[in-house]
Amino acid sequence: MGHESNASREQTGLRVLVITAVAAERDAVLRGLRGDARFDVVAGGVGPAAAAASATKALAAAGYGLVVSAGIGGGFPGRAEIGSLVVADAIIAADLGAETPEGFRSVDELGFGSSRIAVDASLAARLTEALQRAGLPAHTGPVLTVSTVTGTAATASELAARVPGAAAEAMEGFGVAAAARDRGLPVLELRAISNAVGPRDREAWRIKEALDALEAAGAILLEVLR
Q: Where are the alpha helices (DSSP H) in 38-152?
A: 48-61, 107-110, 121-133
Q: What is the pLDDT of residues 23-72, one digit of tens each?
A: 999 999 999 999 999 999 999 999 999 999 999 999 999 999 999 999 99
Lowest mean pLDDT among 134-138, 151-155, 176-180, 199-203: 199-203
Reported confidence tier of residue 203, pLDDT bands at 50, 70, 90:
confident
Nearest to 185, CA basis, from 5, 15, 43, 38: 15
Number of other CB atoms surrounding residue 174 within 10 Å? 29
Q: What is the pLDDT of residues 106-150, one digit of tens each?
A: 888 899 989 999 999 999 999 999 999 999 999 999 999 999 999
What percent of the chain lies above the pLDDT cut of 70?
Answer: 94
Q: Is 13 helix (H, G, I), strand (E, B) or coil?
A: coil
Q: What is the DSSP string of 99-110?
A: EETTEEEEHHHH
Residue-level pLDDT at 13: 67
**Is the pLDDT at 9 greater than 50, yes or no?**
no
How many whole angstroms separate alpha carbon 216 and alpha carbon 2? 22
User: Who has greater pLDDT, 106 or 194?
Assistant: 194
pTM of the model: 0.89
Residue-level pLDDT at 136: 97
Asked whether the beta carbons of 96 and 144 are under 8 A apart, the reply is: no
Q: What is the DSSP string of 146-172?
A: -SS---SHHHHHHHHHHSTT--EEESS
